[in-house]
Amino acid sequence: EAQVTQNPRYLITVTGKKLTVTCSQNMNHEYMSWYRQDPGLGLRQIYYSMNVEVTDKGDVPEGYKVSRKEKRNFPLILESPSPNQTSLYFCASSLFRQATSGANVLTFGAGSRLTVL
């Protein structure tokens, strides 16, 4: 089944304790992206990757890092989490960034709910 898999789905951690949210896709997609969803703010892009070893900042990159060493994986790293990073995180992928319809649009993972105390 074509899918984007995120782990963990739920995590409660404490301020300053480094964590990684993994993301893997099995569709051979070039483009991958991380979003966070917050009440009243919708989905905001954190980082994206156009291809292996090519990453760039989205709208809200502060406090996050990413890497794209392999095509299928795009982990999100919080080096020193803070309470304002408590959010629902989504990883997404598509064949290419400009996709707008049909099978080429963004496919999202099920989400990772992170709480930082």
Answer positive or negative: Cα dihedral of 22, 26, 28, 29. Answer: negative
Residue among 92, 99, 90, 95 nearest 28 (CA): 95
Residue nearer to another protein on the CB measure, 44 or 72:
44
Residue nearer to another protein on the CB measure, 75 or 109:
109
Does residue 46 touch another protein according to CB under 8 A? no
Does residue 90 touch another protein according to CB under 8 A? yes
Stretch that binds another protein, among 17-25, 61-69, 74-82, 109-117 (CB under 8 A): 109-117
Pick one of 23, 66, 78, 109: the residue that binds another protein (CB under 8 A): 109
Q: Going by C-beta distance under 8 Å and a sequence separation of 6 or more, which residues neighbour residue 88? A: 36, 37, 38, 111, 112, 113, 114
d(CA 66, CA 77): 6
* Chain positions contacting another protein, by CB under 8 A: 4, 35, 40-45, 56, 90, 92, 96-101, 105-111
